[in-house]
Structure formats: C-alpha cells, structure tokens
Amino acid sequence: MPYIATSDGAQIFYKDWGAGRPVVFSHGWPLNADAWDNQVMLLASNGFRAIAHDRRGHGRSTQTWNGNTMDQYADDLAEVIDQLGLTDAIVVGHSTGGGEVTRYLGRHGTSRVAKAVLVGAVPPLMLKTDTNPEGTPLEAFDAIRAGLAADRSQFYRDLSAPFYGANRPGSTVSQGMRDQFWLLSMQVGLKAAYDCVKEFSETDFTEDLKRIDIPVFVAHGDDDQIVPIQAAAPKTVQLLKDATLKVYPGASHGIVGAYEAALNADLLAFIRA
C-alpha cells in the first residue's frame, strides 16, 4: 500500500486514483479515506487525479501516541502534497477534515493550492464560548469522550444515527451505511480518537480563514446534527476573502442520499470552473 513517511516517522496511508489535476480529500472524524470513495471515484472517472489519505491514528496510518493535534494534521497534509509534488491542487475537507484543510491553508499557504472545498466543516469554532454563543457546549464533547472510553463500539453504532440523519422521520438511510460508519470508526486508535475530540471542538480557525486567498466553496446541510450550521458555514464565509456558500435543505452531516447526489454535482462543477 502507498505511504508517505512524515518528518516524525509516522506512515500516512493514501489512495491515488486517476490522472489529471490533483484533488486532495481530508476525511471527517472518526473515519478514514474510504469515506470519500464515491467522490474519489467520481473525480478519477472525470479526468482528475483524486487523492485521499488516512489521518494519523486513523485507518491504515500509524497510530502515534503523540501528534494528534490540528497543527500536526495540517503538517501531515502538507507532507502528502509536497512529497507527491502536487501543484494547482484543489483541497476538499469534510467535518474535522475541513478544519485540517483550513489549518493547512492558514499554516502553509496556498502556493500549491488553487481552490478549496469545505463540507460540513468545523471552522470557525465548534465550542460554545462567550464570543461564540451559537456553539456547542463543552459538556457535549465531554459526553463524546466518555462514550469512547466506556464502549466505543456501541458509541459509534449510536452516533451513526444523528450523523446520517437516520433518527429523523422518514429517513431512508440504510443499515449498510450505518454499518460502514461503524466499521471505519473502529479502525481509528482509541488514543487518536479521544485526542481528536478536543482538536475538532476547541480549535479556533478564525485567523486561518482570514489568511486564505483562494476561492472556497462552503457546503453545509441545514439539518446537520453533528456540526450545527449556525456556528459554522455562515460564519466561515464572512471570514473568507472569496467564498461561495450553499446550504442543502434537510441535509445531514454525513454525505448520503439526495444530499450526496447534489453535492457531487456541485463539487464537480466548482472544480471544473
């Protein structure tokens, strides 16, 4: 399997499909690159080189004890892009991956990247604070950590319902989709999963967003139960220099069903434009 060796010795797995202009995908917590398979296959089938990596601690990448931080995630993404020699790339991040992409662009600049896409992304800040009253209370993230520590397998099974909106009346989300979420989630190391909760919830991306000088497509479902929209996408576009916001009515956090079909079309259109 293909790997990138980082400067601290970690091995970062990546899949590299197709040929053409590179599009690099960063996945959400607690998943891995396989969560992007439909989009990677779509782009590789339409003349692009689609690349998706497993964040350290997740999937097939090294389960490091240290380094489960947003800065390190961004540095790992930079090493993937640099070592593969990518230029004029498009970077795409979902959820925590959207934070990873944002921190990468704020920390490493845009010399190798022409466009970015943030989907259901955690920036600017998920945590509720005095200056971010629309955010999610700390107690909710403490409950996530407690669930991981007590019985992570059952926790992931339960989390799959709000993740895909399977707890909503009339949901058509399949059991297979929920099972896939559980399967990918069980491949992240417990330490990495636990550490990452703090990183996606408490990292403030405000200054990163202000530094980004390329076009960014911001997509968010208005029924996102994991990263509620009111603290996320509308605030993000206000901080970006060149942003397009699209809100998907009734869409969940997980990319599935009619939401996935619409997002795939929009993603392809934005990348081709």
Instruction: Give the catalytic positions in this structure.
Output: 95, 224, 253
Closest by Cα among 71, 79, 80, 81 to 107 = 71
Tokens of 107: 């920390």
